[in-house]
Structure 1
Amino acid sequence: MRTRNLMIAFAMTGFIFSTACADTKKENVHNETEKVTSDDVTEKEAVKKTPTIVGVAAANEDFSTLVAAVKAAGLVETLSADGPFTVFAPVNAAFDKLPEGTVAGLLKPESKDALTSLLTYHVVTGKFMAADVVKAINDNNGTFSIPTVQGGNLIASMSGDNVILTDESGNVSTIIMTDVAASNGVIHAIDSVVMPK
């Protein structure tokens, strides 16, 4: 009888222990699920909180002329779309290099087509980080032709450690800041405006 009671006690202890373990496993699974869900939400929120290309440019005073031009050309919605896009974005000083009156003339309503052509010549479909551009240059014997949304091409090459863009008229621009993240692509700042033919 005493042996039987002892066996029952062991059985009960085993049952309680296994139930406790099962509860702990359920709790761990629940916690892991919560963690995964929480991480996913955090990542999605981070993407949502990162502005689009237009938002990033608008938040940086060095791109104020570019943003004014994008608005005048009616490209805000286009450059806020899903993309992804790579934008070679001229800084204000780049626009200042243009002949006097050029920017003012381009911002006029009657120049919208010319302005759109100019701006889309700075945009590439797809997201290309600086390392991608350098690799493409190196893989293609030192120069790489980049097709733009405008339809023309930019030629990328290296000058020392700098990536140089040459437009179809032979004008040269240097990339001065790379890999500025946006939710729908990436921005590389350039020091001169490149011109389509």
Structure 2
Amino acid sequence: MNRNIKYKMAKMRFIGCFFVYLSISILQSCKHDNLTMPVPNENIRPAADFIHNNYEMRLFDAALQKTGMAVELNEAGPFTVLVPNDLAFNEIGIFRPTDFDRMNKDSLRRIIAYHILPRRLYLSDIPSNAVDFRYATLEGSELYASIGSIMPGATAPSNMLFFSGAKTIRKDVVLSNGVLHVLDKLMKPQFEKNIQEWLSDKKEYTVFVAGLKKFGLWDQLAEKGPFTVFAPTNEALEKKGITMNFLDTAVPERYIAEVLFGAYIMYDKHFFISDSQVFSIINSNGSYKYHLKDNIHYMEYLANETYPTWKMSYYMKLRSNDTFYSIILADISYSVGAKMDYLCSNGVVHDLDQGLVSPDQVIKKEENEK
């Protein structure tokens, strides 16, 4: 082999080694973040510390301090904390931390514990398009999660999530010991009370209770159910001519009880007001229609978020029957969010500040013919 060939071969080997060395040097000098092990974010705080340092949660923080639960929520967990924001507390008349001083400490602790789950529950953990899916709480009872994930034909998910009627307005806030969701209202469980017991304790419904008793519809509300009750206030019934004086002299046999008082009761249904909103996402129709117990009169129930407050409101329409030419006997709406979604052991109660029908509208036919 001549000298020129040897020289060229040696030169090629040198150039090859140089490029190999250069490539290794470049690779070693580059930082590949996607190849490194993730380092825990030291800025992520445990639940109680996170809540304490967020201004929109100052009243929930005060409740944690009052009940002694703040220490517990900084422990290992894991927890899912459902935090009503300050506006949610304002809605029920709590504006400052000292307002908790007038509340029973044990009762307050139970309510706050109902807003905490002893597990991590992210949005993605809840079944798609679920309605009233149950989860155990730190209090010991169960709450209900409903989610409208995606509408038919939609390309992007809605993921409208509610817990026992309260809407999540901020989801999946990561904590070092769990996860947090922010709610727009305080959940209102009645724990061991059934609907009958709960209504009996409220003076604003005394005429409604007396009417249910008078017309034979009261005893059932202590049974298993479930029931959804739209409870008219004393003032609402008075505007329809239903007072204690009327009930004292009324002859039940003259009236259609299933309409006069039964129209306020939805049987075998457990509806938070927000469930209608979830139905509108699942099947594009949140309206629920059903016959009353007399099998003639027809009800329609719907709920939606109304402009400009975007607070949940509900609507009820009572018809004389289910035909196209039926007469609309009542068409009402209600939007006081603080007085909706009272969860009892055998169903849910909602407040109603308007009556549906007057006694004259539901007199039995044979009575009219006399």
Q: Same fold (TM over 0.5)?
A: yes
Q: For residues 51 and 13 of structure 1, what CA distance do their matches in structure 2 show?
A: 61
- Deviations 1:3-41, CA, capped at 9 Å, x for gaps: 533233223323322322222232243245x3238854x
Instruction: Quote how far apart the aligned CAs of 1:119 are.
Output: 2.2
Is the contact made by 1:50 and 1:182 (CA closer than 8 Å) also made in structure 2? Answer: yes
Work out whether 1:104 is the aligned partner of 2:97: no
RMSD of aligned C-alpha atoms? Answer: 3.3
Work out whether 1:75 is the aligned partner of 2:75: no
Structure-2 residue corresponding to 1:63: 57
Bigger drift between 115-124 and 75-84 goes to 75-84
Q: For residues 21 and 145 of structure 1, what CA distance do their matches in structure 2 show?
A: 64
Bigger drift between 144-153 and 52-61 goes to 52-61
Q: For residues 59 and 99 of structure 1, what CA distance do their matches in structure 2 show?
A: 23
Counterpart secondary structure, 2:126: helix
What is the aligned residue count? 178
Q: Could you tell me the TM-score, scaled by structure 2's length? A: 0.41
Give the gaps of 5 or more residues in structure 2: 152-157, 192-370
Q: For residues 66 and 85 of structure 2, what CA distance do their matches in structure 1 show?
A: 17
Instruction: Quote how far apart the aligned CAs of 1:74 are.
Output: 3.3
Aligned counterparts, 1:25-36, within 5 A? 25-32=23-30, 34-36=31-33
The alignment-based identity, stated in percent, is 20
Instruction: Quote how far apart the aligned CAs of 1:104 are.
Output: 1.9
Structure-2 residue corresponding to 1:94: 88
Structure-1 residue corresponding to 2:134: 145
One of 14, 17, 28 as aligned partner of 1:19: 17
- Deviations 1:35-92, CA, capped at 9 Å, x for gaps: 238854xx525x2223333343233211001112223333334323444432110112
Is the contact made by 2:66 and 2:100 (CA closer than 8 Å) also made in structure 1? Answer: no
Q: For residues 105 and 6 of structure 1, what CA distance do their matches in structure 2 show?
A: 102
Structure-2 residue corresponding to 1:190: 183
Counterpart secondary structure, 2:2: helix
Q: For residues 4 and 68 of structure 2, what CA distance do their matches in structure 1 show?
A: 85
Is the contact made by 2:80 and 2:118 (CA closer than 8 Å) also made in structure 1? Answer: yes
Structure (1/2) with the larger helix percentage: 1
Counterpart secondary structure, 2:42: helix
CA 158–11 in structure 1, closer or farther in 2 if over 3 Å, else same: closer
Tell me: higher relative CO, structure 1 or 2? Use CA pairs within 8 A at least 6 residues apart: 1
Larger Rg: 2
Instruction: Quote how far apart the aligned CAs of 1:194 are.
Output: 2.4
Aligned counterparts, 1:111-130, within 5 A? 111=105, 113-130=106-123
Structure-2 residue corresponding to 1:155: 144
Q: Could you tell me the TM-score, scaled by structure 1's length? A: 0.69
Q: For residues 117 and 124 of structure 2, what CA distance do their matches in structure 1 show?
A: 16
